[in-house]
Structure 1
Amino acid sequence: MKEIKVPELAESITEGTIAQWLVKTGDKVEKGDPVLELETDKVNVEVNADYAGIIAEILKEEGDDVEVGDVIAKVDENGEASGAADSPAEETSEQPKEESKQEEKKEEKPAAKQEEKKSDSSNIVASPAARKRARELGINLSDISSRDPLGRIRPEDVESHAKGETKSSAPKQEKKQEPKSEKTTFDKPVERVKMSRRRQTIANRLVEAQHNAAMLTTFNEVDMTAIMNLRKERKDKFVDKHGIKLGFMSFFTKAVVGALKEFPLINAEIQDNEIVLKKFYDIGIAVSTDDGLVVPVVRDADRLDFAGVEKEIADLGKKAKAKELQLADLQGGSFTITNGGIFGSLLSTPILNTPQVGILGMHSIQKRPIVMPDDSIEVRPMMYIAMSYDHRIVDGKDAVQFLVRVKQMLEDPYDLLLEG
């Protein structure tokens, strides 16, 4: 009997939730056949059979949380598919099999306790890197105290525990007491739905961003007249030449890249006591899906022309909605753009996509009366834009000037086309 285990998925992914079994007990599988779909923090991945044979037992159900290395099913390499006729020999040996199953159940009881302990550990909030390091050192996450205000365990907490450093246990005790609070009861009908792993991750990361970054937001507005006129003039030629429409996102992406070159601290991140200045421009584009928000990355946006940016965004958007994004599509962005305007948002404060230190929010285009330089009043298509930033390394002056520079380039898009 061979075991199917959760394989090593990626350095940043150590656990997941079983979204769907693609086989059932008694099914025949070949080596390499997909047996289940695993939902991780970022993407859904298929787990394949390492052996050919018959699925003898499925140990984890859909919706169960599993970690790398967990045994999720067993394969009988010498078994026959469930549709085969039972032989007399099998019938006569049925009783011994039942007895052996009972013996196996007795032997599995200690393992069940270990599994229960592992389940408790999986409920602890810890970064993937911390979980991986704890596994390498053989340390139980529940024994580690965290310095994080939210109780999230980080790699440095694991290292400190391994070195025997003593920490105050008060924060950990408070963290353990919080989940024990009674659930609110209702007199009227309600429905409780378990949060998906991705939704839990989104929730944790958003709260983490607000607690671990000194986040502020600055606002401005853009007169979209020039961009809308330019798109109207060139939309047909653009489609004929490149096979894709000229949208708004390419203008904003190119304007952001131009502004990031002038304000390099906004294209950076904090690692321990160091500021990492990124010399590349990988721009994350937030995409809303049925499973939650994902942020695929347009690589080397500074090297792409307008058509290249539009094609990349369209391709990533299709892959996101079809759940075909790979981990490589989501990792390593240096700045993010999010467009709440497509849903009708007039103004909002976007939350940082940590560890990035800047995010630009786009909003609805709305016609408003604007006082022109000659004091006349004209009706113009205006868009509010918002820039949230981490005040730990980005000063207010730089953030405001960055947003003003984005505004200037958007209001004079011909320069963007020439430079892009």
Structure 2
Amino acid sequence: MNRMRQRIAQRLKEAQNTCAMLTTFNEIDMSNIQEMRARHKDAFLKKHNLKLGFMSAFVKASAFALQEQPVVNAVIDDATKEVVYRDYIDISVAVATPRGLVVPVIRNVEAMNYADIERTISELGEKARKNELAIEDMDGGTFTISNGGVFGSLFGTPIINPPQSAILGMHAIFDRPVAVGGKVEVRPMMYVALTYDHRLIDGREAVTFLRKIKAAVEDPRVLLLDL
């Protein structure tokens, strides 16, 4: 194994040995966010010179949910056995490169808008592809998002990125029949998974967190109105 692969293996085994990992699931109707993207992507590109993707919506929704459920953004200090709550939100975004998986960090997401997030994702992704990420680009992070959907993943359980306490797994969007208002309709659906450290985060908090993300993505007005 090369040095990066060895480091990845070490960190994953560390997470498995340290955390009491548990995963909860939900599904998201992507109809509204797809419609919003289709309606505004050209204007967004013209104004910001950036493509409007789905990742920014999930990053924004995660920041919203982390503020509502701060324990998911917290961490256990293994030396003191105390819970450390962060007053900032730094989200690591998993990026696959030819050399392996890297997780650059988007810092202070709570203060960002969609354009800020898309710009940062674009810049970090470009640096990752060129193998130009510095240690500082990947250091820290309070929460991680991994998008297996870009590879066609239907379902999966992501593993925590230590020393964080939780990770959100996105998956591919597929048209599926769902019940809507007592009728069966075909909707673009995505399964999402939250793996969390059960030593710190209870099931109620994890489920509530994931439902907050579901609500914010299914109806973007939730974020605008701070609901």
Distance 1:400 1:408 in 2: 12
Equivalent position to 1:205, from 4, 11, 16: 11
Distance apart, 1:269 and its partner CA: 0.9
Q: How many residues align?
A: 224
Provide, for residues 288-325 of structure 1, a one-character-per-residue CA deviation record: whole Å limited to 9, x for no partner: 01111110000111111101100100110110111101
Contact 1:221 1:407 in 2 (8 A): yes
1:415 Cα deviation (Å)? 3.1
Q: Which whole-Å CA distance do the structure 2 matches of 1:418 and 1:242 have between them?
A: 23
* Structure 1: tracts of 5 or more residues without a match: 1-194
Give percent identity, aligned residues only: 53
* Counterpart for residue 346 of structure 1: 154
Larger radius of gyration: 1
Corresponding residue number in structure 1 for 2:68 = 262
CA-CA distance at 1:417 after TM superposition: 4.5
Mapped contact 1:251–1:410 kept (Cα < 8 A): yes
Q: Is the 8 A contact 2:175 2:187 kept in 1?
A: yes
| TM-score for both structures, normalised by structure 1 | 0.53
Deviation at 1:418, TM superposition (A): 5.6
Instruction: Note the alpha carbon deviations across 1:97-139, whole angstroms, 9 max, x for none.
Output: xxxxxxxxxxxxxxxxxxxxxxxxxxxxxxxxxxxxxxxxxxx
Once residues 49 and 148 of structure 2 are traced to their aligned partners in structure 1, the CA distance between those partners, rounded to angstroms, is 26
* Secondary structure of residue in 2 paired with 1:394: coil
**Equivalent residue, structure 2, for 1:413:** 220
Q: Distance in 1 between matches of 2:97 and 2:129?
A: 6
- Answer whether contact 1:268 1:278 (CA < 8 A) is retained: yes
The corresponding residue for 1:400 is: 207
1:231-273 per-residue CA deviation (whole Å, 9 max, x = no partner) reads: 0111111111111011001100010000000111100111121
Greater RCO (CA < 8 Å, at least 6 residues apart): 2
What are structure 2's unaligned runs of at least 5 residues?
Answer: none
After TM superposition, the structure 1 = structure 2 runs for residues 219-238 of structure 1, keeping only pairs within 5 Å, are 219-238=25-44
Residue aligning to 1:382: 189
1:319 to 122, 127, 145: 127
Matches for 1:263-278 after TM superposition, within 5 Å: 263-271=69-77, 272=79, 273-278=81-86
> Secondary structure, in 3 states, of the residue corresponding to 1:363?
strand
Aligned residue identity for 2:214:
K
Cα pair 1:251 1:416 within 8 Å, conserved: no
For residue 355 of structure 1, what is the amino acid of its counterpart?
P
Cα shift at 1:332? 1.1
CA contact (8 A) 2:215 2:222 kept: no
Q: Shift of the alpha carbon at 1:208? A: 1.4
Contact 1:215 1:391 in 2 (8 A): yes
Deviation at 1:198, TM superposition (A): 0.8
**Which among 98, 106, 122 is matched to residue 298 of structure 1?**
106
Matched ranges for 1:146-161 at <5 A = none
* TM-score between the two structures when normalised by the length of structure 2: 0.97
Large movers: runs of 4+ above 2 Å: 414-419
| Structure 2 residue aligned with 1:11 | none
CA distance in 1, matches of 2:117, 2:159: 24
Q: Does residue 243 in structure 1 map to residue 49 in structure 2?
A: yes
Give, in angstroms, the shift of residue 416 of structure 1.
2.5
- Give secondary structure in 1 for the equivalent of 2:178: strand
Shift of 1:327: 1.0
Trace 1:1-400 onto structure 2 (pairs within 5 A): 195-271=1-77, 272=79, 273-373=81-181, 375-400=182-207
How much is the aligned-residue C-alpha RMSD, in angstroms? 0.9
Query: What is the rounded CA distance, in whole Å, between the counterparts of 1:322 and 1:232 in structure 2?
Result: 30
- State the alpha-carbon separation in 1 of the partners of residues 159 and 91 from structure 2: 16
